[in-house]
Structure formats: C-alpha cells, structure tokens
Amino acid sequence: MRDAFRDHWGDVERPLEEELKEWRHWMENSTDFDPSLWFLAVDGDEIAGVSLCWPVSPEDRDRAGVEVLGVRRPWRKRGIALALLRHSFSELRHRGKTSVKLGVDSHSLTGATRVYERAGMSVSMEIRSYEKELRPGVDLSTQALS
C-alpha cells in the first residue's frame, strides 16, 4: 500500500512503525474488520495491487466500502485496478450488498477516477479542500509523478 500510494497527492512518507501502529489500532478497534474482504493481485512473489474492503461504510451501514484500492507503479495500466475493483464488487454483492462507496482525489495523478468510471461508478458527493500557507516552508508532499 505504501508503494502504491506514493503518488497520491499530498503523500508524505512516515516511519513504517508509526504507520503500522496506526493500522493495528484501526483493525483492533473496528467491529466491522473483515480480512476476508482484502484482496491482492500478485505477480510471482510480488504484490502488484490491493483492494481492502469493509462490509459497511461508516456513513451508511447498508453500503459497503472499498477503503483502499492501489496498484504499484510497475503494474499500472494493465487493468489490475479494474480487475480488483470488479472482484471486490462481486464478493460484496455475494454478501448481499447492493451499493458500494469509495473516496478518491478527483485530480489523482494516476487517473484513478477513470478506473472507477469504467467500473460503472459515478460521483455522488464532492468535497473541496482549501488551504492557506501561513508561513513559507519546504513542501514534502507528492505533487507530480516522477
């Protein structure tokens, strides 16, 4: 996941131990955690992509959530994200869900919104984020694909 999301707008790498502690807290304190809804795309011994789903959305318990969908750079533009998304939809439908949500940066550097549109998803809500620089500093976040 860290590798797949290095290109996410605003990404700032943190120490792995810090991220793992946060993840552990998230998993251990969620009554809805279901690792059988976590899917990997693998190529030999390498993880190419991941889809981490939740059986319910925090905002709407009747709706499932694709909380993480990411593909690592070397495997992008091969249809892996769409295949993972469709597999996730199929499994969630099999479990009785009739709708699913996910959040995305609409200006994703990787063009993620095109994948969701190809999968038949549409925008249901838009959130705008505003910011103001209070003092000059060094921007450590990802702003472009390298």
pTM score of the predicted model: 0.81
The CB-side HSE value for 79 (13 A sphere, CA atoms) comes to 3
Please name each of the domains of the chain with its CATH number. 16-118 (3.40.630.30)
- What are the distances in angstroms from CA 123 to CA 8, 32, 44, 90, 127? 19, 25, 35, 20, 11
Tens digits of per-residue pLDDT, 56-71?
Answer: 877 777 889 998 999 9
Tens digits of per-residue pLDDT, 9-39?
Answer: 667 788 999 989 998 898 888 888 899 999 9
Tens digits of per-residue pLDDT, 81-126?
Answer: 999 999 999 999 999 999 999 888 777 777 788 899 999 999 888 8
Residue 106: its pLDDT value, please?
Answer: 76
d(CA 136, CA 70): 32
d(CA 127, CA 42): 33
Residue 32: its pLDDT value, please?
Answer: 85
Residue 30: its pLDDT value, please?
Answer: 85
